[in-house]
Structure 1
Amino acid sequence: MNKHLVLFMAGNPNAITLAVEPEVAEDLGDRLVQIVRNGHTQTIAGSQGQQYVVNFSHVVIAYFE
């Protein structure tokens, strides 16, 4: 079953939800706090083979559900 990475961007009250494989969520889960704190740009593999590039310097809140 897919996981979802939920992102809230600065200046936008609407969440962006990206479907990812459970392995991606597991890999990023432990590092997500550091990635957001440091504002890294990260490539994230989507659940259907897509590649998302997220600039975490614009992310205010990020979590997996």
Structure 2
Amino acid sequence: MSSEARKNSLVLHLAANPNPISVRVDREVVEDLGQRLVQVVRNGHTQSIRTADGKEFVVNFAHVVAAHFE
């Protein structure tokens, strides 16, 4: 995987799953959510996320133990 692709991946570590989930996201998501990610996880917000291929999904951060961008 190229370094650019890694930079655009949101990695979610869920409480009920020992394996992290990695999702490729738009650069805009990294710029927008990156600044608020700690707060979103800490408060357990539900957030709509746009993937790199233009699809959208919702993450309930109440089930996320840790999240970061690669």
Same fold (TM over 0.5): yes
Deviation at 1:23, TM superposition (A): 1.4
Q: Which structure has the highest helix share of the two?
A: 2
Letter in 1 for 2:12: L
Partner of residue 40 from structure 1, selected from 20, 42, 45: 45
User: What are structure 1's unaligned runs of at least 5 residues?
Assistant: none
Query: Do residues 24 (structure 1) and 29 (structure 2) align?
Result: yes
User: What are structure 2's unaligned runs of at least 5 residues?
Assistant: none
Counterparts of 1:45 and 1:11 in 2: how far apart (Å)?
23
TM-score (norm 1): 0.94
User: 1:60 maps to what in 2?
Assistant: 65
Where does structure 1 differ by over 6 angstroms across 4 or more consecutive aligned residues?
none
**Alignment coverage as a number of residue pairs:** 65
Q: Which structure has the highest strand share of the two?
A: 1
CA RMSD of aligned residues (A): 0.9
